[in-house]
Every structure is written in C-alpha cells, then in structure tokens.
Chains A and B, each alone.
Chain A
Amino acid sequence: MGNNKLFIHKSVVYSVITLLFTPILTTFIYSLSSSWGATILPDGFSLKWYSALLTDPRFIDAFGRSLFICISALLLATVLVLPMIFVVFYYYPKLDKIMNLLILLPFAVPPVVSSVGLLQLYAESKFQLIGTPWILIATYFTIALPFMYRAIANSFTTINLKDLIDAAHLLGASTTKAFLLVILPNLKKGLLASLFLSFSFLLGEFVFANILVGTRYETLQIYLYNMRQTSGHFTSALVMTYFAFIFFCTWLASRLTRGNTQ
C-alpha cells in the first residue's frame, strides 16, 4: 500500500518534471543537430551552430550591451537601496510596512503599462533617454527593487542592528563607518544572492527593451528576437547559451542563500 502510494507520487512529480524539461531538452538537441527537418529525430549532430553563434560579432556585441545594462542597473539599485534599507531599519522601522507595499508596485503594474508612461514622459527630455541604454538602466532598477528589498530586509531582521551599531558607537565609530564595517559584511550573502537572482531576471527582460529602446541599442533579447527568421538551429544554440548563463546565475544565487541559512 505504502509503496503503491509512493509510486503514484513519484509518477506525478516526474510527469510534471518531464513536461517542464521537454522544451529545454528538445531545444538543446535541436541546437546540436546539423539538420532536423520534418522528421521526429534529427539527421546528424554537430557543433557548427555554436561556433557560428560564438563567432558572430553581432552576438558578442549584444551580449556585451546586455551585461553593461544589467550590471549598471544592479550597481544603481545597490547604491540606492542599501542606504535606504539601513535608514528604514535603523531610524524609521515603521516605514518597513509602507516599503513592503511600495515594492509591490513594480509587480502589480505590467511593464507594458509603465512603458506607455515612460515613453511619453521622456520622449522629449533634454538629455535624450528613449532609445538609449540609460532609460533601461533606470527602469531595471525598479524591476530589481522588490527582490533586493526582500532579500536584504530579511538579512537585516536576522542581525541585531541596534546593538551592533551601539557597540560600534561606543568604540568610537561613526554611524557611516559602523554601517560600512560592521553591518555591510553581515548583509553580503543576502545582497549577493539577490543580485544574482535579479541579474538572471534582468537578462531575460524583453518588454522595456523592445518598447523603449528596440533596435537602436540591440540587447541580447532584442538580438534573439531579430534572429527569429534565421535557422532554428542557430536560435536554439543562442537560447541554450543564454539559458546556460542564466542557470549559472540562479545556481550561484541558490548556493548563497543556502549558505545563509546554515
């Protein structure tokens, strides 16, 4: 009876996993096959699509642009969010409730809706924003915000903030120094985990990139979309390369969070 039940549970779990894994696996096989027409199995295998991809300067450029945007956006987010959370937790703990509501905004408002307003507001700004990476960097900060706030706020609740700062004050450190030397090292893991998580999220962002910037500054996702007319094998190699990168980032994030709880 017990074994029978376990068997049912196992088959449910593995069917769903198979369902989730099929598109990834098929894309992988497709990227490795030399040609795969109207048949169920491919004709032969080769790495030529990967070499075609990795030698395409347009791909390298797009990848570089995406890295630049994502890393700048995360730097901006860190610079804006870290002092904000510290001030909220140390001086105005009551604000935490309001912040928890505010950070829901980027979730609740679909990116398409935000981009309508962004396009109109900044279309005629003196310093050109639309069509440049700067608008994406600033907008991506709002996407990363909920992840970063939650992760860092969780780290703040696990440390004894008041006592640590008081101790540092007693020893003659200023609040800024105490924050940088005492508090920051305690937040490192939570911060890094949230950064890797946000990074994988931002690298996959398409809506803002397409509507606000489009082909004027071709990021990885835009490049991927523009390549849709080329060989499916080529786009598969592209999707798999992208996915391997994302996989690495989420893996790093999950390792860091696990380390945090131990």
Chain B
Amino acid sequence: MNKRIIALEGQSSRGIRWPSIFLTLAKYRPALWLIPFVLFFYLFQVAPMVWVFINSFVYEGEWSLVNYQAIFDSAFILQSFYNSVWISFWSSLVGLILAALFVSSLRHLNSRIKEAIIAFTNMSSNFAGVPLAFAFIIILGTNGAVTLLLKQWGVIEDFNLYSRWGLLTLYIYFQIPLGALLLYPAFDALKKDAYEAAALLGANPFKYWVKIGIPILSPALLGTFIILFANAIGAYASVYALTAGNYNMVTIRVASLVSGDLFLEPNLAAAISVVLMLLLAFITAINQWLIARSYHGK
C-alpha cells in the first residue's frame, strides 16, 4: 500500500514523466501478500537455524571453536554420533531392501488388493513415535507376547528391547512403510517388455535384475535411502519414549543439553546440531555423486 502512495505522489508532483517507476512499483504490489508468510517462515524456521549456526561458534560471549573442540574431546558425544549413524545406516538399508521387495511383489497383485495395501501402508506410516514405542514394549518387551512366543519356540534366548538391537528393530519397522511409499511410483519405470525382451534373449530373472532392473531403479533407491537415513538420524520421539533418554543418541544429547534438568549448554547443543547437519549434507553429497554416476553408467 505504501509503495503505491509513494508512486502516486511521484506521479502527481512531476506529472506523468515517471510512468516507468509507477509501473515498476505497481508490479511489486502483489508481493505484499507474501510478507506474512515470509515473516512467519523467517521467525520460526530460518531464524532458529541461524541462531544455532552462529551460536555454535560462541563460547561464554566470545567467538571460539571451544564447542566443536568439546565434541571431539568427549567420548560420550562421539559415542552418540556413532550410535545414531550405526542405527540410521542399518535401519535404512534393511528397511530399503524390505520395502523394495515388498513393492516389486506388490505390483504383481491385482489392482483392488494393491490399492487396499497401499492405503494400509500409508496408514501404518503414521504409527510412529511414542505410540509405536509403547506397542513395541507390549509385544517385544521383557514380558511381551512375541518375546515369550519366540522364547518358547527357542528362537531366541533373550531379547532386550532397550538395547541397540531392540532399537534397530523399532527403526526398521518405521522405515518400511516410508520406503515403500517413496519407492512405489519409481517401479513404474520398469516396463514389462524390458523383462520379456531380456527373457527372450535368455536372461534369467536374477540376471534381469542385476543388469536391467536395479540399474534403472538405482537413482530412486539411492534417493529413498537418503530420505530414510535423514528420517532415522533426526528421530527422537520413539527412542526417547522407549529408553526415557537413557540410550545415547545424537538427538537425545542435543535435547538434554537444552531442556534437561541440569547442565544446560545450548551452545554445545548448537555445535552438535551443526555437526549433525554437516554429516547429513556430506551423506547427501555422496549420494548425489552416486546418482550422477549411475546415470553415466546407463
């Protein structure tokens, strides 16, 4: 509105010698509608990130790298990174493989069942966080029904849900539906004639997958892997609800440094956050490189 008034004033005092300015300003008038959105997005998305980045380099009011030094000196924080990366990597890999098998088989079923199953997968992708952790305690906890069943059958000696393997199981569970939903559209790229042509030329299904199927799908598989990995490494609710913050993971460390009962160190939390984001950026970069290479391979 203001811009318009200014433009009008300019016009009246100097006649119509400045129509170009009027036009330029009028052109930007609709942009005023963007301001509320930009403001909220800045305040609640961009500004917190900027705060984290800047304050990771501040220690007791002065610029320094002490926070970063503290990360690499602390075996405890390094362990949290190791645990997070370990669980994220393996849960993404296993989740991706299971989701890919699931989706590729799903395409052979008739369309009504297919639709119902996709709807169910979509629904189960919402079964995450605190409710999922509780469900896992019921079925796989110390006295959980499945734990007892597996013990009775002698499949397992003992199962500790609150350990690394228990968490891995939980993570794989929430990666499968997400992976399946992301991969499902990509499998459209596999044409039936390609399979038939390969079969005519004497390729067995194994060879078809190694030489044709997986190369075609590899950008989608790599892209999905990175989303699953980011999803796992940022996860907080399920591990917090399952272990009450006792299992050492990066997100648990960050949260306890800003909202724990004692020893609040927001700037150290900021530095850990920046390292976490750099790690994600690094893995995404490797991934992009692999995707580019896979296109060249074709």
Contact = CB atoms under 8 A, between A and B. Distances in A.
Partners in one complex: yes
Interface of A: 5-6, 8-10, 12-13, 16-17, 19-24, 26-27, 30, 36-41, 76, 79-81, 83-84, 86-88, 90-92, 102, 105-121, 138-139, 141-142, 145, 200-201, 204, 206-207, 210-211, 214, 221, 224-225, 228, 232, 235-236, 239, 242-243, 246-247, 250-251, 254
B233 to A, nearest CB: 7
Nearest to B142: A38
Interface of B: 30-31, 33-34, 36-37, 40-41, 43-52, 55, 98, 101-102, 105-106, 108-109, 117, 119-124, 126-132, 134-139, 143, 145-146, 148-149, 152, 173, 176-177, 180, 230, 233-234, 236-237, 240-241, 251, 254-255, 258-259, 266, 269-270, 273, 276-277, 280
A92 B276 CA distance: 35
Q: Which of A24, A26, A36, A117 has the most chain B CB atoms closer than 10 A to its own CB?
A: A117
B135 A117 contact: no
Contact of A111 (B43, B145, B230, B236): B236
B37 A243 contact: no
Contact of B134 (A207, A210, A236, A254): A236
Nearest to A123: B266
Contacts of A201: 126
B129 A116 contact: no
Contacts of B105: 8-10, 12-13
A112 B254 contact: yes
A26 B145 contact: yes
B41 A13 contact: no
Given A224-B131, A225-B241, A121 B37 contact: no
A250 to B, nearest CB: 5
Given A10-B109, A23-B135, A235-B134, A110 B236 contact: yes
A242 B105 CA distance: 31
B240 to A, nearest CB: 7
A161 B276 CA distance: 42
Classify the interface of chain B: helix, strand, loop or mixed. helix
Contacts of B255: 112, 115, 207, 210-211
B279 to A, nearest CB: 11
B122 A142 contact: no
Contacts of B132: 23
Contact of A16 (B48, B98, B273): B98
Contacts of B117: 13, 17
Closest 4 CB pairs of A and B: A117-B48, A110-B234, A206-B237, A9-B105
A110 B47 CA distance: 15
A116 B269 contact: yes
Contact of B44 (A102, A119, A141, A246): A141
Contacts of A120: 51, 55, 258, 266
Contacts of B135: 23-24, 26-27, 236, 239
Contacts of B276: 110, 113
